Amino acid sequence: MRRILLSLVLVASACSASGGEDPPDTGSGPSQPSATVTAPVPATTTTTVADRWHLAWQPTALVEDFADDLGAIPGVDTVSMVRVGDAGIVETAGADGTVIDQPSGGFVIPVEVHAFGASHAEFIPIDQRDAFVSLADDEIILGSTSATLRRLDVGATITFAGNFVATVAGIVDDEYVGDAEIVTTREDPGVFGAFLDKYAVFRFDGERSQLEEAVGLMAGEPVTVRAWGEVLVFRHGDSVRSQAAFKARFGEFTIRPTGGGFEQGATWRNENLITETIPLLGSVTCHREFVEMLRLAMQALEEQGRGDVIRRSAFRGCWNARFIAGRQAVSHHSFGAAADINFFESLDGPFSPTDPDLLVALYTAGMTSGHIWVNPDPGHFEWFDG
């Protein structure tokens, strides 16, 4: 994967952005046109069943009538609209009633919830479809990573903030539910929290160029289209990793909402955050494993004689426990696995956050760059691979 990312840095230095992230998660950085690389990600799974599967999204949220307009395009059928929201878990218990997780003191476990309609069953493999088809309002499905994190199996129960209790009716491979932690088919997913129409999965039989031309005429923000096999995870915002992936890589923490923000659980902070001095950037407070990624990248720049590409005063930090602006989703800065380097610096200046040597060093260390996002965030770098 990194080899592909690196080659794109070197051969596409004049390309414009075509990644796609949740746009509010941009720190306080400006939205500017991309000056360098687009970095699509290869999928890890292939299947003939999914040959015609496609996905479409708009950066903020899908506009009204998106499904109808998409379904009217020649060659498109079986459109599944997916709503995405955030919730807090206050208790989990095994099928026998044994409590497994129970945060205290007003803390909750933040989770990402995807709400699917009945039509999405056609995008679930037959051997995993039964629970999805028959899912009741008081039942949920777990993505496979979420089930591992939760240490739960079918028959377990999860109590959410607001005292809504749901039974785990099944577990589905992450790739078929967009890396969702919690899956519901409720028509009123508001029992979990606030939701936005984020992406649509659909079948398409025709020329890709004709599909992209047609979605280019749809209302609202530009539409990004992906086919199965083009991206690491079949969901919106494929230039960043999901919350489930960050948890699997860097651990899971609890939060206690406080006004517009939250307090992060002390146990995770004490076990994972460290403050160290690394070359070029100086003192950093990050997840201990992300510190090593930054160190690797900065040492590579020094060894190449390119330490002059970094302006230390434009390093705006790493760990910052907060929500994504305008949402209740946890920012990746909260994991201490994102860093703002050469922030606010000019793209064509001596400390450009899109300097090819800087990008190569950071990509090699396992990061992605915010400048490739649909709403670009030059200078924002976060974990992606490795």
pLDDT in tens, 256-276: 999 889 999 999 999 999 999
Which tokens is 322 given?
């907060």
Q: Is the pLDDT of residue 226 over 70?
A: yes
pLDDT for res 155: 98
Concatenated DSSP letters for 239-269?
TS--HHHHHHHH----EEEETTEEEEPHHHH
State both tokens at 218: 């749809």
Give the per-residue pLDDT at 9. 42
Q: Which is more confidently placed, 7 or 341?
A: 341
Tell me what pLDDT residue 327 has.
Answer: 79
Q: How is residue 174 written in tokens? A: 């992450």
**What is the pLDDT at residue 140?**
98
Residue 175 near residue 41, CB atoms below 8 Å: no
Average pLDDT for 47-74: 90
What pLDDT does residue 248 have? 97
- Region 133-149: mean pLDDT is 96
Is 35 a residue whose pLDDT tops 60?
A: no
Would the pLDDT of 23 be above 70?
A: no
Reference 111, options 43, 39, 45, 179; nearest CA is: 179
Other Cβ atoms less than 10 A from the Cβ of 45: the count is: 14
Amino acid making up residue 330 = V
Q: Determine contact, residues 309/361, Cβ cutoff 8 Å.
A: no
Instruction: Quote the pLDDT of residue 210.
Output: 97
Band of pLDDT at residue 141, cut at 50, 70 and 90: very high
| Per-residue model confidence (pLDDT) at position 386 | 67
Residue 15 pLDDT? 36
- Give, rounded to a whole angstrom, the gap between the first and last alpha carbons of the chain: 9
**CA dihedral (125, 131, 133, 139) positive or negative:** negative
State pLDDT tens for residues 231-259. 888 999 988 999 999 999 999 999 999 98
- Three-state secondary structure call for residue 216: coil
* Average pLDDT score over residue span 316-328: 90
**Which pLDDT score is estimated for 260?**
86
* Contact call for residues 371 and 377 (beta carbons, < 8 A): yes
Looking at per-residue confidence, does 4 or 203 come out higher? 203
**What pLDDT shows up at residue 188?**
94
- Amino acid 278: pLDDT: 96
Q: How confident is the model at residue 8 (pLDDT cuts 50, 70, 90)?
A: very low
**Where do the domains of the chain lie?**
2-41+242-383, 48-227
Q: What is the pLDDT of residues 188-224, one digit of tens each?
A: 999 999 999 999 999 999 999 999 999 999 999 999 9
d(CA 228, CA 47): 9
Banded pLDDT at 49 (limits 50, 70, 90): low
In terms of pLDDT, which residue wins out, 177 or 327?
177
Q: Is 138 exposed, middle or buried (0-12, 13-18, 19+ CB in 10 A)?
A: middle
Burial 141-180 (b: 16+ CB within 10 A, else e): bbbbbbbebbebeeebbbbbbeeeebebbbbbebbbbbbb
State the average pLDDT for the chain.
Answer: 88
CA atoms within 13 A on the CB side of 56: 26
**Would the pTM of this model clear 0.85, i.e. be above it?**
yes
The CATH number of domain 2-41+242-383, selected from 3.40.50, 3.30.1380, 1.25.40, 3.40.1000:
3.30.1380
**pLDDT for res 291:** 98
Q: Where are the beta strands (DSSP E) in 134-213?
A: 139-143, 157-160, 164-172, 182-184, 195-204
pLDDT score at 26 = 35
